[in-house]
Amino acid sequence: MTAARTALITGHSSGIGRAICERLLADGYDTIGLARTTGEPPLPHPHHTSIEIDLADCDTLATRIPEIAKEHPDIDVLICCAGQGRFGDLETFSLAQIRQLMDVNFTAHAWLARCLLPAMKTRRKGDLIFIGSEAALEGGRKGAVYSASKFAVRGLVQSLRKDAGRQGLRITIINPGMVRSPFFDDLDFAPGDEDSQAILPGDIAKTVAMVLASRPGTVFDEINLSPRNKVIQKT
């Protein structure tokens, strides 16, 4: 019998991260979730561990992430889902807002990968899956800082793939369009109400499961998911 894999998932408390966590638990994975809260309701599963941590707090991450890597040396899947949205003309952002968006969307995940890569390279086995965005493919109106953070993730993935591919690691980025999730709760726009106007978190979870289930020698470099009809409405 094949030993269960252990996946660390950021942003597991809701939305995309929650859907991925639930799907992997159903598929027999052990999961470790990182988020500011355990979620409401928490995931009541014997093979799931929730860790409360603020991914925008890089001072805490500097020491806590290496500790987590040491406490869970069996982690062989990293799925970076946590993300934050803030949109507007660049001149409306404060320095603190720019730093927070970059830290949550990019810096925290670059640091997570940096801390988990050595053990994965030693085992010559591991999957790193980053949830990017359609904003990583093309900049849009009011999205300068958000797009910059997602372009940074995409550049990280492309370079990691060249650096780590020969050491048995697979690195993938999934770029979804508008997803019907709590991401939009604090924004003044959202996808349209019809089913064809938004992706569901479960769609992304199925894609992640497909990537992980693929033959070890096959890598999904980049996957772009879009709703059939893109509609943005003000809220």
Residue 73 above 50 pLDDT? Answer: yes
The DSSP result for 137-177, as a single string, is: TS--TT-HHHHHHHHHHHHHHHHHHHHHGGGTEEEEEEEE-
Mean pLDDT of 86-113: 96
Domains and CATH numbers, the chain: 6-234 (3.40.50.720)
pLDDT tens digits for 20-50?
999 999 999 999 999 988 777 778 889 999 9
Confidence of residue 1 (pLDDT cuts 50, 70, 90): very low
Q: What is the pairing mode between strands 169-176 and 126-131?
A: parallel
Buried b (16+ CB within 10 A) or exposed e, 44-78: eeeebbbeebebbebeebeebbeebbeebeebbbb
In three-state secondary structure terms, 224 is strand
223 forms beta bridges with: 174
pLDDT of residue 2: 58
Average pLDDT estimate for 68-80: 96
pTM summary value: 0.94
Task: Determine which of 127-136, 179-188, 198-207 has the lowest per-residue pLDDT on average.
Answer: 179-188
Indicate the helix (H) or strand (E) that contains 80.
strand 75-80
Query: For 186-210, what is each residue's pLDDT tens digit?
Result: 888 889 999 999 999 999 999 999 9
Query: What average pLDDT does range 156-174 have in this prediction?
Result: 94
Q: Average pLDDT of the chain?
A: 93
> What do you get for the CA distance between the two ends of the chain, in Å?
50
